[in-house]
């Protein structure tokens, strides 16, 4: 909001404060930061940021009050320089009357009449100042209302009095469907929640927002009725929002106006009109009241002031002086002040607000600085934070880079190929949608992190990266939740995606094995190992459109809970992301990992030598490894320590549909050294049993 | 064997700069006895606004352009616009005294450009105890800023308005680029805005059944994205969200 230094000088001696720099320092301290300083002719313009709680400072007088309070200068009253202009003719109340039908929405409505004006423009001073702060000059009548708004922050409106039917102003709710063409030429269709000013026949102004076109002041206007009022902030805001309007008036009324400013504002504007365009003021002014706004009284205790500030040097003398400078009335009562809050400070309601007022004048720079005393033992982390941290550290150590993607997606385009995975995670039968999205084509919240990662992988490959590994930690969202538990709409996820060749290095042989799904699966196992060891994860083949069949799997916990998905991206999904290389992706449900990790107790180990033995057999391709493993372990082989699958071979000498598998068993006893014969006996038993129980052959 | 050939590197990965900065900030406050708390990104109007003393239909809500999810819920659902709702959740759950730090992702309806993003990250701090004052807030904030940006970085408080604190302040630090002399980065002022803070509003305390006569508290909040941008000197927030390895690689090995 722009302010003219010259205009501020009407109210406070700016030169004594130190000119623009001094004013800026005062306003910074007051909490009204000046964002820029520029010049307009001889004048200096301050662009100040005014928070929504300070409508009183949205005019030069209010801003000057802040400068005066901080600097210690006294306020000037420019009106005192002018004699009250002569009034003449019939009194205003004989010519017009006001009826307030909505006393809580219009607490006060004042009007003043100027008759017999000519078409002259506003005084040069008025036009210059308005131009300096970027406001347009229109006519003496309109400029007067604008000028007073920017001087006092009280919005006013000027009617062409002769166009008001019946000399009557009724403040009422609009009728449903009632129409009003506002000053901007737009026809507004009104609702009963809107408040209007009406004459005897129709609505003539949208209360607190904009006047009507039909009754506006024009070059031929002779008699002007000036209006100033107090409007209910919420009503003004709702109407302005619904109609997409935002005016200097609505901006102030939404934030709260000062009913006591009305008489002076009207007299000020009337005087400016008479000064420029001639005419005379009708004696008296109309002053209709709705429900009364009471002056609030609050105590400020010295103890509270010192407690909140932490400054024992503050005293009531200082507090009293500071509050008075800001326009509060105070009375000393022992260890506290009884404070009356002026109506223009609707933002100040309670004792702590008064503390802030005093401290603004005192200056925060002067407050002491210390650390709060040590509290009871802290330093805890919410339970899933350490899980996410370990996942991130392990993934980074495995060569992946962390990314952060926006969660805005289009379910149909981005996630439908992962629908089977979404169904398994039970979070997202329907996407959670944003009602007012930035981009209507991506108005859903992601239900999985995988598509975002694939997008990032694709971008990196297009930039020419030979290989890329990315991971992300974040939330996935679904519409299945309970509205009184917002947290039930989201779940925590960890996901990664890998693509491309190994990094080129002089020592890496060119025929290096390309990555496959077991690299990705192994990474999942390694990542979750602190909580669930690999041999406790149950893997099942996955049928998910986005992944290649037989090259994707779902991990479950032993209790049957879904833990993760991993897979090789299907060709169609690769095409959709413009990916040439093989891409592997996985997603882990962080919420499925047990908080606190797994209990750990030392296990004694044998120092005696082990004997290993391999067994090779031919098996049908579709006999899953888990069946073989289950069978071997089910035999209860004596002193078996471990079992591994060390080779799988398809090709020459292996019939189609079959695969040659080699398993390696390690035998070790805790009590004695095993003999080769013992192991051979167990291996023969193993071969016999495998051949009997499973469809395997040893003829290769 | 030519041992002057380059050694065989293991694959290097790395944490995202937002994670690195977040952990640095967390580390500073964990050492000061704060605990890390968490809350949902899907919130309701009650936690995000009402309990934080934002009345319905109040212009203070304009500054936090909200992405809405469900208007019809008893308390409308939205994407949280700040991490402050976690203050409410934690105070309701644990009462006072309390000393927490809340990092998290927040959302506002902002178009994407070099300095704006509809998704960004905040860290919120909250201390509620007996005899907590502005002086404690000043000391905490200045200690933090010196730990994060280096000894000698000064801080300045300017009054401002947030509905959930009273008094409310904007905290600036002396420009880390020109040491306060005035440069392009600080628009010649010598100061850079770094966080919002204030004393917890008594209405907020009353709303969570903490007696504001017995307990007082302070809260502060800052943007991690902005801190990362300041600390590492990259020019555009969008780099944080593009997943470009050429950007991410530069942070490999940092903690």
Residue where the block lists tokens 């944003």: A434
ω before B167 within 30° of 0 (cis)?
yes
Residue pair B166/A351 in contact (Cβ under 8 Å)? The answer is: no
User: CATH number, domain at B199?
Assistant: 3.30.930.10
- Average pLDDT for residues A468-481, to the nearest whole number? 93
Sign, CA dihedral A103-A105-A107-A110, equals negative
Going along A530-610, which residue ranges are E strands?
538-541, 547-556, 562-569, 583-589
The answer to whether residue B192 is domain-embedded is yes
Closest chain B residue to A391 measured between Cα atoms? B15
B246 and A234 in contact by Cβ < 8 A?
Answer: no
A490 and B68 in contact by Cβ < 8 A?
Answer: no
- Average pLDDT for residues A672-693, to the nearest whole number? 94
Q: Which of B1, B4, B13 is the best substitution to test chain A (most A C-beta atoms within 10 A)?
A: B13
- Average pLDDT for residues A53-78, to the nearest whole number? 94
- Average pLDDT for residues A645-652, to the nearest whole number? 90
With pLDDT > 90 as the criterion, what percentage of chain A qualifies? 79
Q: In what order do the strands lie in the sheet with B68-70?
A: B42-44, B77-79, B68-70
Fold agreement (A2-81, A296-362): yes
- Average pLDDT for residues A37-44, to the nearest whole number? 92
A157–chain B nearest CA distance, Å = 23
B250 — contact with chain A (CB < 8 Å)? no
Q: Which of A307, A350, A380, A401 is the best substitution to test chain B (most B C-beta atoms within 10 A)?
A: A401
The answer to whether residue B122 is domain-embedded is yes
Burial zone of B34 (CB within 10 Å; 0-12 exposed, 13-18 middle, 19+ buried) = buried
A402 and B248 in contact by Cβ < 8 A?
Answer: yes
Closest chain B residue to A312 measured between Cα atoms? B135
Averages of pLDDT over runs of 10 residues in chain B (255 residues) are: 78 93 96 95 96 84 84 92 96 95 96 92 97 97 96 95 95 92 87 96 97 97 95 93 95 86
Task: Look at residue A211 and give its three-state secondary structure.
Answer: strand
The answer to whether residue B6 is domain-embedded is no
Residues of B in contact with A31 (CB under 8 A): 158-161
Residues of B in contact with A474 (CB under 8 A): 105
B72–chain A nearest CA distance, Å = 10
Q: CA-to-CA distance for B68 and B42, rounded, in angstroms?
A: 10
Q: How far is CA A221 from CA A185, A186, A197, A224, in A?
A: 19, 22, 20, 7
A434 and B68 in contact by Cβ < 8 A?
Answer: yes
Query: For the domain A385-592, what is the CATH code?
Result: 3.30.930.10
φ, ψ of residue A673 in degrees (nearest 5):
-80, 130
Instruction: Kindly report, residue by residue over A312-362, the tens digit of the pLDDT.
Output: 999 999 999 999 999 999 999 999 999 999 999 999 999 999 999 999 999
B134 and A404 in contact by Cβ < 8 A?
Answer: no
Q: Which residues of A296-319 are buried (b: 16+ CB within 10 A; e: fewer)?
A: eebebbeebbbbbbbbeebebeeb
Residue pair A405/A474 in contact (Cβ under 8 Å)? The answer is: yes
Residues of B in contact with A367 (CB under 8 A): 134-135, 138, 157
The answer to whether residue B131 is domain-embedded is yes
- Average pLDDT for residues A281-307, to the nearest whole number? 94
Whether A81 has a pLDDT exceeding 80, the answer reads no
pTM (two decimals):
0.89
Interface of B with A in 78-97 (CB under 8 A): 79, 97
B190 — contact with chain A (CB < 8 Å)? no
Interface of B with A in 13-32 (CB under 8 A): 13-16, 18-19, 23, 30-32
Q: Which of B81, B135, B200 is the best substitution to test chain A (most A C-beta atoms within 10 A)?
A: B135
A336–chain B nearest CA distance, Å = 16
Whether A512 has a pLDDT exceeding 70, the answer reads no
pLDDT score at A507: 59
Helix (H) or strand (E) holding B101: strand B98-107
B241 — contact with chain A (CB < 8 Å)? yes
Alpha helix positions (H), A333-384: 351-362
pLDDT score at A591: 94
pLDDT score at A503: 47
B194–chain A nearest CA distance, Å = 15
Give the CATH architecture of domain A611-693.
2-Layer Sandwich (3.30)
Whether A275 has a pLDDT exceeding 60, the answer reads yes
Query: What's the CATH fold of domain A296-362?
Result: Phenylalanyl-tRNA Synthetase; Chain B, domain 1 (3.30.56)
A29 and B158 in contact by Cβ < 8 A?
Answer: yes
A30 and B159 in contact by Cβ < 8 A?
Answer: yes
Q: CA-to-CA distance for B223 and B82, rounded, in angstroms?
A: 10
pLDDT score at A572: 93
- The pLDDT-based confidence of A518 (bands split at 50, 70, 90) is confident
Given B42, B62, B240, which is nearest A489 (Cβ)? B42
The answer to whether residue B167 is domain-embedded is yes
Encoded tokens for B217: 């508290």
Closest chain B residue to A252 measured between Cα atoms? B59
With pLDDT > 70 as the criterion, what percentage of chain A qualifies? 96
Given A401, A406, A489, which is nearest B119 (Cβ)? A406
Whether A502 has a pLDDT exceeding 60, the answer reads no
- Show me where the domains of chain A are located: 2-81, 92-289, 296-362, 385-592, 611-693
Given B12, B33, B70, which is nearest A374 (Cβ)? B33
pLDDT score at A30: 95
The answer to whether residue B8 is domain-embedded is no
Q: For residue A492, give the nearest of A560, A573, A392, A399 by alpha carbon.
A: A392
pLDDT score at B188: 84
Q: In what order do the strands lie in the sheet with A329-333?
A: A296-301, A336-341, A329-333
Given B6, B135, B243, which is nearest A310 (Cβ)? B135
pLDDT score at A291: 92
pLDDT score at A80: 67
Average per-residue pLDDT for chain A? 92
Q: CA-to-CA distance for A650 and A405, rounded, in angstroms?
A: 41
Q: CA-to-CA distance for B207 and B88, rounded, in angstroms?
A: 9
Closest chain B residue to A474 measured between Cα atoms? B105
Packed helices A60-71 and A351-362: angle between N→C axes, nearest 10 degrees: 70
The answer to whether residue B73 is domain-embedded is no
Average per-residue pLDDT for chain B? 93
Query: What's the CATH fold of domain A2-81?
Result: Phenylalanyl-tRNA Synthetase; Chain B, domain 1 (3.30.56)
The answer to whether residue B3 is domain-embedded is no
Instruction: Kindly report, residue by residue over A222-258, the tens digit of the pLDDT.
Output: 999 999 999 999 999 999 999 999 999 999 999 999 9
User: Which of A171-175, A292-296, A560-564, B80-84 is the least confident region?
Assistant: A292-296
Tell which wins on pLDDT, B155 or A377: B155
The domain tally of chain B equals 1
Spatial CB neighbours of B53, under 8 Å, sequence gap ≥ 6:
B163, B164, B201, B203, B204, B207
Q: CA-to-CA distance for A336 and A306, rounded, in angstroms?
A: 12
Q: CA-to-CA distance for B38 and B11, rounded, in angstroms?
A: 32
B159 and A353 in contact by Cβ < 8 A?
Answer: no
Domain that holds residue B99: 17-40+83-244
B129 — contact with chain A (CB < 8 Å)? yes
Given A308, A436, A437, which is nearest B216 (Cβ)? A308
A41–chain B nearest CA distance, Å = 23
B38 — contact with chain A (CB < 8 Å)? yes
Query: For the domain A92-289, what is the CATH code?
Result: 3.50.40.10
Closest chain A residue to B23 measured between Cα atoms? A389
B169 and A459 in contact by Cβ < 8 A?
Answer: no
Given A309, A484, A490, which is nearest B133 (Cβ)? A309
- The pLDDT-based confidence of A510 (bands split at 50, 70, 90) is low
């Amino acid at each position: 909001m722009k302010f003219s230094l010259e205009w501020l000088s009407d109210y406070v001696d700016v030169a004594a404060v130190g000119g623009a720099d001094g004013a800026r320092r005062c306003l910074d301290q007051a909490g009204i930061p000046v964002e820029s300083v520029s010049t307009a002719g001889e004048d200096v313009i301050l662009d100040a940021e005014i928070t929504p709680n300070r409508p009183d400072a949205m005019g030069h007088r209010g801003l000057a009050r802040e400068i005066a309070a901080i600097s210690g200068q006294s306020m000037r009253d420019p009106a005192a320089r002018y004699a009250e202009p002569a009034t003449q003719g019939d009194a205003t109340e004989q010519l017009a009357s006001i009826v307030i039908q909505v006393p809580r929405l219009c607490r006060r409505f004042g009007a003043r009449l100027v008759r017999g004006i000519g078409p002259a423009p506003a005084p040069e001073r008025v036009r210059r100042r308005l131009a300096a702060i970027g406001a347009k000059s229109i006519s003496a009548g309109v400029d007067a209302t604008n000028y007073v708004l920017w001087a006092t922050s009280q919005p006013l409106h000027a009617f062409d009095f002769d166009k008001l039917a019946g000399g009557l102003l009724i403040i009422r709710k609009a009728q449903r469907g009632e129409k009003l063409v506002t000053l901007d030429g737009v026809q507004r269709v009104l609702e009963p929640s809107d408040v209007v000013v009406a004459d005897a026949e129709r609505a003539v102004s949208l209360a607190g927002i904009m006047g009507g076109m039909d009754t506006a002041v024009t070059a031929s206007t002779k008699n002007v009725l000036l209006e100033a009022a107090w409007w209910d902030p919420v009503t003004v805001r709702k109407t302005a929002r619904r109609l997409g309007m935002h005016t200097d008036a609505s901006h102030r009324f939404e934030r709260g106006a000062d009913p006591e400013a009305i008489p002076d504002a009207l007299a000020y504007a009337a005087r400016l009109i008479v000064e420029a365009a001639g005419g005379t003021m009708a004696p008296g002014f109309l002053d209709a009241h709705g429900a009364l706004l009471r002056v609030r009284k609050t105590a400020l205790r010295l103890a509270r002031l010192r407690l909140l500030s932490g400054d024992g040097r503050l005293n009531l003398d200082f507090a009293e002086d500071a509050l008075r400078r800001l326009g509060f009335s105070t009375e000393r009562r022992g260890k506290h002040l009884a404070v009356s809050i002026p109506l223009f400070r609707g933002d100040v309601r309670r004792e702590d607000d008064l503390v802030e007022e005093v401290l603004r004048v005192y200056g925060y720079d002067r407050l002491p600085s210390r650390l709060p005393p040590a509290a009871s033992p802290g330093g805890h982390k919410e339970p899933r934070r350490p899980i996410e941290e370990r996942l991130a550290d392990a993934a980074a150590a495995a060569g992946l880079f962390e990314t952060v993607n926006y969660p805005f997606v289009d379910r149909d385009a981005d996630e439908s190929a992962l629908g089977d995975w979404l169904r398994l995670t039970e979070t997202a039968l329907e996407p959670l949608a944003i009602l007012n999205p930035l981009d209507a084509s991506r108005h859903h919240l992601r239900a999985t992190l995988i598509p975002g990662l694939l997008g990032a992988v694709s971008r990196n490959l297009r930039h020419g990266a030979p290989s890329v590994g990315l991971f992300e930690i974040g939330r996935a969202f679904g519409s299945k939740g309970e509205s009184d538990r917002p947290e039930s709409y989201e779940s925590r996820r960890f996901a990664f995606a890998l693509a491309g060749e190994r990094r080129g290095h002089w020592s890496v042989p060119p025929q290096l094995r390309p990555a496959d799904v077991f690299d990705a699966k192994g990474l999942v196992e390694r990542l979750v190992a602190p909580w669930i060891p690999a041999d406790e994860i149950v893997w099942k083949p996955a049928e998910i459109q986005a992944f290649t069949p037989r090259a994707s799997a779902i991990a479950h916990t032993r209790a049957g809970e879904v833990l993760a998905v991993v897979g090789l991206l299907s060709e169609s999904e690769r095409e959709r992301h413009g990916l040439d290389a093989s891409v592997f992706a996985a997603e882990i449900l962080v919420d499925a990992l047990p908080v606190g990790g797994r209990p750990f107790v030392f296990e004694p180990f044998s120092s005696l030598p082990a004997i290993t033995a391999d067994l090779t057999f031919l098996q049908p391709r579709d006999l899953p490894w888990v069946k073989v493993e289950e069978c071997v372990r089910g035999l209860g082989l004596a002193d078996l320590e471990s079992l591994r699958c060390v080779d799988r071979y398809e090709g020459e000498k292996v019939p189609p549909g079959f695969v040659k598998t080699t398993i390696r068993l390690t035998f070790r006893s805790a009590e004695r050294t095993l003999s080769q014969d013992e192991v051979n006996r167990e291996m023969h038993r193993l071969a016999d049993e495998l051949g009997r129980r499973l469809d395997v052959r040893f003829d290769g | 064997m030519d041992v002057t050939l380059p050694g065989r590197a293991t694959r290097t990965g790395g944490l995202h700069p937002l994670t690195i900065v977040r952990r640095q900030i967390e580390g500073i406050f964990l050492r000061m006895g704060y605990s890390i708390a968490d809350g949902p990104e899907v919130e309701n109007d009650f936690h995000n606004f009402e309990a934080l003393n934002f009345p319905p239909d109040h212009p203070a809500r304009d500054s936090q352009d909200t992405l809405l999810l469900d208007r019809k819920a008893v308390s409308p659902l939205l994407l949280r616009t700040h991490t402050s709702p976690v203050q409410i959740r934690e105070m309701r759950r644990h009462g006072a005294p309390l000393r927490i730090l809340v990092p998290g992702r927040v959302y506002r309806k902002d178009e994407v450009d070099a300095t704006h993003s509809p998704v960004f990250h905040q860290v919120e701090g909250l201390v509620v105890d007996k005899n907590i004052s502005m002086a404690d807030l000043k000391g905490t904030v200045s200690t933090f800023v010196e730990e994060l940006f280096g000894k000698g970085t000064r801080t300045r408080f300017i009054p401002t308005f947030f509905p959930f604190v009273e008094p409310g302040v904007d905290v600036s630090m002396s420009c880390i680029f020109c040491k306060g002399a005035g440069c392009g980065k600080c628009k010649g002022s010598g100061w850079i805005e770094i966080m919002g803070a204030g004393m917890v509003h008594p209405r907020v305390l009353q709303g969570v059944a903490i007696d504001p006569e017995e307990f007082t508290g302070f809260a502060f909040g800052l943007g991690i994205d902005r801190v990362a941008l300041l600390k590492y000197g990259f020019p555009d927030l969008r780099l944080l969200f593009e997943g470009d390895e050429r950007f991410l690689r530069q942070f490999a090995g940092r903690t």
